Amino acid sequence: MTSTILIRGAKVLGGEPQDVLIEGETIARVGTGIEAEGATVVDARGAILLPGLVDLHTHLREPGREDSETVLTGTKAAAVGGFTAVHAMANTFPVADTAGVVEQVWRLGRESGYCDVQPVGAVTVGLEGKQLAELGAMHESAAGVRVFSDDGKCVDDAVIMRRALEYVKAFDGVVAQHAQEPRLTEGAQMNEGVVSAELGLGGWPAVAEESIIARDVLLAAHVGSRVHICHLSTAGSVEIVRWAKSKGWDVTAEVTPHHLLLTDELVRSYNPVYKVNPPLRTEADVLALREALADGTIDCVATDHAPHPHEDKDCEWSAAAMGMVGLETALSVVQHTMVDTGLLDWAQVADRMSFRPAAIGRLEGHGRPVAAGEPANLVLVDPAYRGVVDPAGFASRSRNTPYEGRELPGRVTHTFLRGRATVVDGKLA
Amino acid sequence: MKRHLISAADLSRDDAVLILDTAEEMARVADRPIKKLPTLRGRTVVNLFFEDSTRTRISFEAAAKRLSADVINFSAKGSSVSKGESLKDTALTLEAMGADAVVIRHHASGAPHRLATSGWINGSVVNAGDGTHEHPTQALLDAFTMRRHLAGAPDGGPTHHQGGGDGTGRDLTGRRITIVGDVLHSRVARSNVHLLHTLGAEVTLVAPPTLVPIGVERWPCEVSYDLDSVVPKSDAVMMLRVQRERMNAAFFPTEREYARRYGLDGDRMARMPEHAIVMHPGPMNRGMEITAEVADSRRCTAVEQVANGVSIRMAVLYLLLGGAVLEPAAESAETKAENPNSRTEESK
């Protein structure tokens, strides 16, 4: 039996209110005054309708660290956050560096039913940066991997990086680089600057990110490949990517929600909930990142959702794990930092959080226009909502959010994955 | 006074002077035949040391014992993670044992701050050195030593140590203090910059540029790379310990070059003003940052600093734990036993 859902009066991509009729897995009609007998009606007056969000950068932790997240709990969190597809990073145990592991993650995603899971393959065996993993085998597997990353570690060897960039051209792949010069960041605990000097915490200098990005955009240009920069975090990185794009090189970049909002001043609390890699930077960096996301220099928002068990954050700073959960708060942070500030309209949010990331990942069936005949991957957002973040209510297995107790705007009321509601009235269906 | 002592930056000028003045009174106790006050009888002070530091630990231990507190030494070397027990669980254990104050030395910057603010314990937390962050009691004992030498004369002018009490009530306004060495990795330097600035001194840091942190421009001090130009204008020159292994990380080329450019030898000391003192928090690397000639000279206060450390730590514990009235210990065991207050405390 085919289900029929009529979304009534939603502002499609923030535009004029329209009705959207979903039949089965597909959008059947978009228009005004649509009637459909027997359809489940969703009153969406005042809400924004966007294509389902796509995350290029998610840590689902399975296999290996099921104490912090599983594919099931991670995809539930994704659905709550309005995502219909996430890219699962490769730094699991075992590492997703073989066809077997990526297929396992892909299959777990299919079984979860809350959100599509597109595994990312490791660039090198064991993320060790020495030997290329079987990139072709991962691509040809059922998981159909096109995005490769050693995220968590930088592919710092210039020759390995060059080879990876060249090799994936054969199947239109992309290398997503975690840009971190390892020698410059030995013992790094936070952004290097005024605050690290006072707190006596090891510095993670901006140049350690920028020098790798500069090298990699030049390498990509040299070999005619595309490169994607993960979680870009500094004003200097923005300048390099802007320059590379001005040359016409195929360079894309992402920014995390937390780098759009939080600064290293928060580290003064020594509360490890603010410990993340790359680290929180300065106010000037935050403003440069917002501007770059607005003008398209930065292509997309990616969460870098990084769940950690409580004990890994309930300790002294240097012993704590790096990372923050982000799937369930991403859209609110983007509304707060980009929409409510007038930097982006909702159509541009759809671009930065759905169209562009899907295009970079060459993901089929996601990041599509809200139009008849397209897959019904959709999300409804109530932009007028104001709420205080309470991690106790998270769908994620982990609670390491930097936004606890903070008031943020906007709320995902409904998420539809191929016509099936995964979230209804803000709760998992 | 606040409940904790985590950072020298948290101390106001009046707080700092109060601690120094109290330490002067404590120092007088050390001159008595019975070096003990009953003020903290029945209170428990835990020395929680995650890092070896016999000097600092015994200084706190002596201070607590002279105030009649019960002292528990808890040595928890190694990182909490590798040890298998978290800082939190250690803290909960100490809380269960009824620690009134926890003196913590930890290799991780910010660990005392976490201990004081995470709700794990109710007692006072005293930072006895955390990573490369701060070491506030060291800065206090340094300031105490400087005040005795530099702020003691009636006209506020420089003078050498003239016995206990010199400088009481005064700060270090206008004194020019030079701190030389591995500022980047030094918790002593950080605490001293904050405290000396609060006390009105003019601080200059001298180090090779590699050992000065990025971001230092916001500190309330001057920075120089040239020791020779600063020495003649200094009322006190504080030499920081430089670990030889820094050489391997290319912070400087060789020990010899470091010693030549940034070490204090007899020639440099001779160019200091006549009244100026040489300080060192210890342990000294003789031949590296300081020559034996300087270390053993009359102008070097390193040993005096150790003695002053006990007085300062007594003052800090006394003020944090709100130890009633400052009064000398009873002259004999009998009178002590007859003191109704002490009996009440003991029966608690």
Q: Are strands A203-204 and A190-191 parallel, antiparallel or unpaired?
A: parallel
Q: Three-state SS for A325? A: coil
Last residue of a domain, one of A314, A335, A360: A360
Last residue of a domain, one of A311, A335, A360: A360
Q: Do residues A42 and A57 both lie within one domain?
A: no
pLDDT at A88 over 60: yes
Q: Do residues A330 and A379 both lie within one domain?
A: no
CA dist A214 and A237 (Å) reads 8
Please report whether residue A230 resides in a domain.
Answer: yes
Q: Do residues A238 and A288 both lie within one domain?
A: yes
Mutation target among B48, B86, B114 for the A interface, most CBs of A within 10 A:
B114
Q: Do B215 and A198 touch (CB under 8 A)?
A: yes
Please report whether residue A369 resides in a domain.
Answer: no
pLDDT per residue as tens digits for the range A56-74? 999 999 999 999 999 999 9
Last residue of a domain, one of A322, A337, A360: A360
Q: Do A319 and B79 touch (CB under 8 A)?
A: yes
Burial class (CB in 10 A: 0-12, 13-18, 19+), B122: exposed
- Supply the pLDDT for residue B244: 79
B136 is in an annotated binding site: no
Q: Do residues A149 and A227 both lie within one domain?
A: yes
Q: Does the model's ipTM exceed the 0.90 cut? A: no
The verdict on B214 touching A (C-beta cutoff 8 Å) is yes
Q: Do residues A250 and A391 both lie within one domain?
A: no
State phi, psi for A51 to the nearest 5 degrees: -65, 150
Please report whether residue A57 resides in a domain.
Answer: yes
Q: Do B110 and A317 touch (CB under 8 A)?
A: yes
- Domain containing A14: what range? 4-48+374-428
- Supply the pLDDT for residue B53: 87
Choose among A203, A314, A318: nearest Cβ to B88: A314
Average pLDDT across chain A, whole number: 97
The verdict on B194 touching A (C-beta cutoff 8 Å) is no
- Supply the pLDDT for residue B249: 85
Please report whether residue A365 resides in a domain.
Answer: no
CA dist B69 and A378 (Å) reads 67
- Supply the pLDDT for residue B246: 79
pLDDT per residue as tens digits for the range A152-199? 999 999 999 999 999 999 999 999 999 999 999 999 999 999 999 999
Distance of CA B295 to the CA centre of its chain: 19
- What chain B holds in terms of domains, given with CATH numbers, is 8-134+310-347 (3.40.50.1370), 136-304 (3.40.50.1370)
Please report whether residue A366 resides in a domain.
Answer: no
- Supply the pLDDT for residue B156: 43
Q: Three-state SS for B328? A: coil
The verdict on B210 touching A (C-beta cutoff 8 Å) is no
- Supply the pLDDT for residue B348: 32
Give me the count of residues in chain A: 429
Q: Three-state SS for B106? A: strand
Q: Do residues A25 and A79 both lie within one domain?
A: no
Q: Do residues A311 and A387 both lie within one domain?
A: no
Choose among A195, A270, A311: nearest Cβ to B114: A270
Q: How far is B10 from chain A (nearest CA, A)?
A: 13
Q: Domains in chain A: how many in total?
A: 2
Burial class (CB in 10 A: 0-12, 13-18, 19+), B62: middle
Under a CB-based contact definition with an 8 Å cutoff, are residues B44 and B100 in contact? yes
Q: Do residues A380 and A341 both lie within one domain?
A: no
Q: Do residues A224 and A333 both lie within one domain?
A: yes
Query: Side by side, which strands form the sheet with A83-88?
Result: A53-58, A83-88, A116-119
Under a CB-based contact definition with an 8 Å cutoff, are residues B88 and A314 in contact? yes
Q: Do residues A308 and A404 both lie within one domain?
A: no
Whether residue A304 lies in the annotated active site:
yes
| HEC string for B164-221 | CCCCCCCCCCCCEEEEECCCCCCHHHHHHHHHHHHCCCEEEEECCHHHCCCCHHHCCC
We report the CATH number of the domain holding residue A22 as 2.30.40.10
Q: How far is B219 from chain A (nearest CA, A)?
A: 8
Average pLDDT over every residue of A21-49: 96
| pLDDT band with cut points at 50, 70 and 90 for residue A2 | low
Q: For residue A4, give every residue at least 6 positions away whose Cβ sits within 8 Å of its Cβ, in sequence order, or none.
A: A21, A22, A23, A28, A36, A38, A39, A40
What are A47's two structure tokens? 């809400």
The verdict on A269 touching B (C-beta cutoff 8 Å) is yes
Q: Do residues A165 and A276 both lie within one domain?
A: yes
Choose among B79, B109, B117: nearest Cβ to A199: B109
Q: Do A193 and B106 touch (CB under 8 A)?
A: no
Q: CB contacts < 8 Å between A and B, how many?
A: 86
A336 is in an annotated binding site: no
Q: Do residues A60 and A91 both lie within one domain?
A: yes
Under a CB-based contact definition with an 8 Å cutoff, are residues A20 and A47 in contact? no
- For residue B233, count other CB atoms closer than 10 A to its CB: 13
We report the CATH number of the domain holding residue A332 as 3.20.20.140
- Supply the pLDDT for residue B83: 55
Please report whether residue A320 resides in a domain.
Answer: yes
Q: Do A317 and B218 touch (CB under 8 A)?
A: no
B window 163-192, beta carbon within 8 A of A: 187, 190
The verdict on A282 touching B (C-beta cutoff 8 Å) is no
Q: Per residue of chain B (348 residues), what is the pLDDT tens digit? A: 678 999 999 999 999 999 999 999 999 988 888 889 999 999 999 999 998 888 999 999 999 999 999 999 988 765 444 556 788 888 998 899 899 999 999 999 999 999 999 899 999 999 999 999 999 999 999 999 999 999 854 444 444 444 444 678 899 999 999 999 999 999 999 999 999 999 999 999 999 999 999 999 999 999 999 999 999 999 999 999 998 777 778 999 999 999 999 999 999 999 999 999 999 999 999 999 999 999 999 999 999 999 999 999 999 999 999 754 444 444 433 333 333 333 333 333
